Structure 1
Amino acid sequence: MASLPLFPLGTVLLPGARLPLQVFEPRYVALLRDLIEAQEERSPVFGVIAIREGNEVGEGAVRSLHDVGCAALLTHVAVLGGQRFFVIVEGTDRFRLGDIDSGAATPYLTAEVTWLEERDGDPALLAPLAGRLRAELEAFRDLTDEAVEGASEVEVPEGPRELSYAVPLVVSLDLGDRQRLLECPDTETRLRLGLDLTHRERELAQALGATLKAPQSPFDLG
């Protein structure tokens, strides 16, 4: 078990993904300052975890959280003025949420977490599944290229594990689907789920004449 400060959000961070955030609530400004002050001793990492019930903003607005989240490495900080900051984080390792530390002397949530191992599944199936998913993503991108802003500029990763997490870079998925990807026990399962989700969205795009919104690039407030 490890202790990790938490930043509950109305979105899901996946390993390898970059997430821009505006930080203005006093408790999360305090979290940001604590991370920066301690970065000489340890990496500036906190936990992003999706809200199951409640809202991002407001004291006591979060009523329940999902069980699995992703560590976020702070890579960029800019002062917007006053107590407002613009930050960019990158998803690293997944974790399973344990007990909230009610005794932590911080205004933000701190919890005990268990780091989740990255398993791949059946090695013989990874390359074929990755090839099928890559082809499905390309077919989706070809179909929606004119409707989805920036889709043609997205570079699809080569490695099966990285590819399994990259589906939302091309396909617009809601929080529930992104959380399912995050919670998959191994790369093989995630590739299969990504293939199903991409195929579903491609069929929907065909039915709607490819009039899809762009993939979500969250600019969350916290």
Structure 2
Amino acid sequence: MRPGPSNLGPFDPGYADLPTELPIFPLTNALLLPGGRLPLNVFEPRYLAMVRAALQSPDRLIGMVQPIDANADRNLQADHRPAVHQVGCAGRIVSFEETPDGRYQLILSGLIRFRIKEELPMAKGGYRRVVPNYQPFAHDMAEHEFQLADRPRFLAILQEYLKTRQARLDWKGIEEVADDELVVAMAQMSPLDPEEKQSLLECPDLDAVVEMMVALFEVHGVTSGGEHRLH
């Protein structure tokens, strides 16, 4: 699913070097896809500890997962473990900033999806860890060629959907964004429901992501305007 024909970044680990243990950050409605960027504002003590540990690791990876219950990550005790979806995405910390009031502001770069094989005991800092299975998503780290068959129509459908949700998007410069980067960014930014975003995460590839996005937009009352494929 990783966008574009370009190789991984110079600081990204290779598939063989992925960690066998991964800290997870359960966060409702936060979608990270391979090749995407996700800004995070971290302030809870357990997740501050998680970020510190990740920054000290050679790969700087954090696994983003969604709780199954959309309200489960609110007002929890530190030792409570809400059930989470079994598929998440490992993201590498590519930038971070310490704020004067004790927060971390991060940007994660999506690297590869994973399926939770096993949950480990809590880390000393109070955050959760899992044994990830990357194998079903090994293609996320491979090179891909992707092109929308009808980019103007995809943008028109997206724009109509955003209107139905009373959401706004800065369209300036969007013409210069590559198709793969566009699909990943719009999938992450679209105001879809948590379960809908999880469906996008679990799509096998970007072609399926486009199909799923259009289907979800139609659920929200947007017509696709024909039967032609968009990819």
Residue 138 (structure 2) aligns with: 117
How much has 1:57 moved relative to structure 2? 4.7
The verdict on how the C-alpha distance between 1:170 and 1:5 changes in structure 2, with shifts beyond 3 A counting, is closer
The verdict on how the C-alpha distance between 1:201 and 1:35 changes in structure 2, with shifts beyond 3 A counting, is same
CA displacement, residues 43-73 of structure 1 (integer Å, 9 cap, x when unaligned): 2111010111212453245420001001111
Contact 2:32 2:188 in 1 (8 A): no
Contact 2:157 2:214 in 1 (8 A): no
Q: Which moved more, 1:53-62 or 1:67-76?
A: 53-62
How much has 1:152 moved relative to structure 2? 1.2
**CA distance in 1: counterparts of 2:111 and 2:24, whole angstroms:** 14
CA displacement, residues 92-140 of structure 1 (integer Å, 9 cap, x when unaligned): 2111112111275452111001112337xxx9xx75xx324x3333213
- Say whether 1:131 aligns with 2:149: yes
**CA distance in 2: counterparts of 1:91 and 1:83, whole angstroms:** 25
Residue 51 (structure 1) aligns with: 67
Residue 100 (structure 2) aligns with: 81
Q: Kindly provide the amino acid, as one letter, of the partner of residue 25 in structure 2.
A: F
Contact 2:79 2:126 in 1 (8 A): no
- Say whether 1:4 aligns with 2:25: no
Contact 1:8 1:56 in 2 (8 A): no
After the TM superposition, which segments of 4 or more aligned residues of structure 1 sit over 4 Å from their partners? 103-106, 141-145, 199-202
The verdict on how the C-alpha distance between 1:154 and 1:67 changes in structure 2, with shifts beyond 3 A counting, is farther
Q: Would you tell me which structure has more strand in proportion to its own residues?
A: 1
Residue 24 (structure 1) aligns with: 43
How much has 1:170 moved relative to structure 2? 6.3
**CA distance in 1: counterparts of 2:128 and 2:189, whole angstroms:** 32
**CA distance in 1: counterparts of 2:169 and 2:213, whole angstroms:** 20
Contact 2:68 2:84 in 1 (8 A): yes
How much has 1:189 moved relative to structure 2? 2.6
Unpaired runs of at least 5, structure 1:
205-222
The verdict on how the C-alpha distance between 1:69 and 1:141 changes in structure 2, with shifts beyond 3 A counting, is closer
Residue 108 (structure 1) aligns with: 127
**CA distance in 2: counterparts of 1:23 and 1:170, whole angstroms:** 19
**CA distance in 2: counterparts of 1:60 and 1:103, whole angstroms:** 8
**CA distance in 2: counterparts of 1:148 and 1:63, whole angstroms:** 30
**CA distance in 2: counterparts of 1:88 and 1:23, whole angstroms:** 11
Unpaired runs of at least 5, structure 2:
1-18, 224-231
Q: TM-score, normalised by structure 2?
A: 0.69
* Aligned residues between the structures: 191
Q: TM-score, normalised by structure 1?
A: 0.72
Spell out the pairing of 1:134-145 with structure 2 (5 A cutoff): 134-141=151-158, 143=160
How much has 1:141 moved relative to structure 2? 4.9
Residue 11 (structure 2) aligns with: none
**CA distance in 1: counterparts of 2:49 and 2:156, whole angstroms:** 45
